[in-house]
Structure formats: C-alpha cells, structure tokens
Amino acid sequence: MKTIISTKYIKKIAFIALASIPVLAFAQEEEEAKTTFEFSGTVDAYYRTNLTAPNGEDAIAPGSSFANLDGFSLGMANIIAAYEGDKVGFVADLVFGPRGTDAIFASPMYSATGDIVNQLYVYWNVSEDVTLTFGNFNTFLGYEVISPAANFNYSTSYLFSYGPFSHTGLKADFDLGNDWSAMLAVMNPTDLTELNGTGDYAVGAQLGYSGQFLNFLYSQGGFEVDFTGGFDVSEDFFLGVNAAHFSQEDNGGSFTGVALYPQLATSDNFTIGLRGEYFTTSDGFDNVAGIGAAGDTDDGSVFAVTLTGSATVGDLILKPEIRLDSTSEDAFIDNDMEATGSLASVLFAAIYSF
C-alpha cells in the first residue's frame, strides 16, 4: 500500500528542521570549543647537492646543523600531541628521522627512546599573567628553531647551530602588560634533556617587548646573551634580526654572530627571503661547525648568504634554496679536492604540515 503524507505535514517537518539548524550549529560550536586535545606536526624531505665541491662519497656540507645530507635525503616526521585546558595542559613532541636525531644529539642518556623526545612538558596557568612550565622544552634563544615549518630558510644558521637546542627544567613566563613580557628559568645544563648527571644547573631569563626579545643563559661557566626580533617594514616586507655573543670562563673560547632575514611576499602563495650571516669564533673555541682547518683552534669566521623561496600549495610548503658559505680559513674542498674557503650548494625541500 502506498503511504501518502499530507502537504501540511511535510511543511511542519520542514519548519522544525529549519528551526533546529541554529540550535544544532550552536551545539556543534560549543562542542568544538570544548575540544582541547589535538594532534599536529610536520613531515619533510629534501634534495641537496654541492655546486663547487664533490658530491657522493666525498660530499661535504656547510658547518651548520641539519639539511647537510647528500642527494635525496630525509628530514624528519614530527608528531605533537597537546592538551590545553583552562588552567593546565601538556605537550608531547616526538621526532623521527635524521633531523630529529641531530636535534636530540645528547640523548639517549638513560632511556632507550630518549632520542625521539623533542619536547615533553606540562604547564599551569597560575593566573592570566603567570604560566609555569615543567619538563623538556625547546630553547628560548635565537631566531631559528628545530621545526622546519617554523623557519623561513630550510638550512640553518651558524648562530642556531652553536646555540642551545633544548632545556629541561622549570620556567615561569610573565605577561607584564602593555606588550611587555618576562621569563625566568632554572634548568639542567644545556641540552641535557633526560636527566642532569652533572650536579650543575643553568639559569635563563628573557625580557620581551612587542615581538623583540633579549635573552640570557648561564650554563656551566658559559654565558650567552641573545637578541631576537623582527619588524614589519611594510605590509609585504619583513625584516628578522638575530644577534648573539657567547663566552666561556677560564679561556674556554667565545663566539659572536649577527644575522638578518629580509623577506618579501610577492603574492599570497609565494615569499622570497635572504639570510645574511656573519659568525666568528675566538680564543680557542672548539670549531664544531667546521670553521678553520681540521683540528685548528685559532680564530675563525664565516660569512654565509642563503636565498630561499617559499611557495605554499595547501598545507604543503616548497622551498628552493641556494647557499654560499665563505670562511676565513680553508674549511672546504673544491671539485679538484683542493682546500678552499668557499662552498656553493643548492637544495629543494618539501614540508607538509598537519
């Protein structure tokens, strides 16, 4: 038997459905507002080759961290789980792959999985103006960071490479009002993220105003002062700045550097940027970045220029890059296997964020 529904009844159903739309939308918005647990992260890979030096078995690279492998290479998979409540929350940040391994270079010290923990901390919003963070967190110094999605240039600076990567301890962030902020921290020695193991402690401090930050760190006789900031010169042009000086007590050496990051947005989907950096070591500072000849502990300096394009395709970022490094000593080799003070290289990186 065919069922017949009257027009009056159909209209009533339609009215009830339309009337309930705002209620359902409000309920959905309220449910979304209560959602405080989320996953995010990045995946990146790249191709890198030298223009003025050998590749393959004899490949060399700039003395800065990350993005230094030959040919088609892997970056890392970064997976972040975070819970954000009204008062408390946590972040568990895990990294897998070569970039992650280099970032957590001092681990594992104890745990077999310590080399995949990039950050692991809890926090408490004591008030609207004070937040306490306890655990392992990335450093507050410097313009560049470990995550490739948060940097404009894919390769990193010498300033970033010589500075600390991560800390474990307790820090307090203060909102002082009128765009002023401050931070105080007590931590393990620099980059000892799983445990202390030395009996020494580091102290850190930060003073910020409207996106400009003056940072201080003292760890095991080493003192670093760092300025990190940036300025919107125009709607399409941004200038980032990083400058730092580090000195070690008892003639342990020092380094000083400054880097400028001009970036011009040519469209909604493409920005071109330059990193110009001058970096110098002195007083027998260990040349871990390759400035100077192998085993040389004399003063050394490097001037590096990196030109990077950044194109976005949805959640994918494509970065072609050319880099020129010039050192005061013959820190590199050319295609004839002769010592030289310069290196030209190119890379192409792809970064997906989710």
- Give backbone dihedrals phi and psi of 129, rounded to 5 degrees, phi first: -110, -5
AA identity, residue 66: F
* Interacting residues of 9 by C-beta distance below 8 A, sequence separation 6+: none
pLDDT of res. 286: 55
AA identity, residue 246: F
* 335-341 long-range Cβ contacts below 8 angstroms, 24+ apart: 335/52, 335/53, 335/54, 337/54, 337/58, 339/293, 340/52
CA gap 342, 241 in Å, rounded: 24
Cα angle 88, 91, 92 (rounded to 5 degrees) comes to 145
Contact criterion met (CB below 8 Å) for 308 and 153: yes
CA gap 202, 169 in Å, rounded: 9
pLDDT of res. 2: 34
pLDDT of res. 194: 94
Residue-wise pLDDT tens for the chain (354 aa)? 333 333 333 333 333 333 443 443 434 444 455 558 999 999 999 999 999 999 999 999 999 999 999 999 999 999 999 999 989 999 999 999 999 999 999 899 999 898 999 999 999 999 999 999 999 999 999 999 999 999 999 999 999 999 999 999 999 999 999 999 999 999 999 999 999 999 999 999 999 999 999 999 999 999 999 999 999 999 999 999 999 999 998 777 899 999 999 999 999 999 999 999 999 998 766 554 454 433 344 578 999 999 999 999 999 999 999 999 999 989 999 999 999 999 999 999 999 999
pLDDT of res. 282: 87
pLDDT of res. 7: 36
pLDDT of res. 285: 62
The model carries a pTM of 0.85
The SS3 of residue 112 is: coil
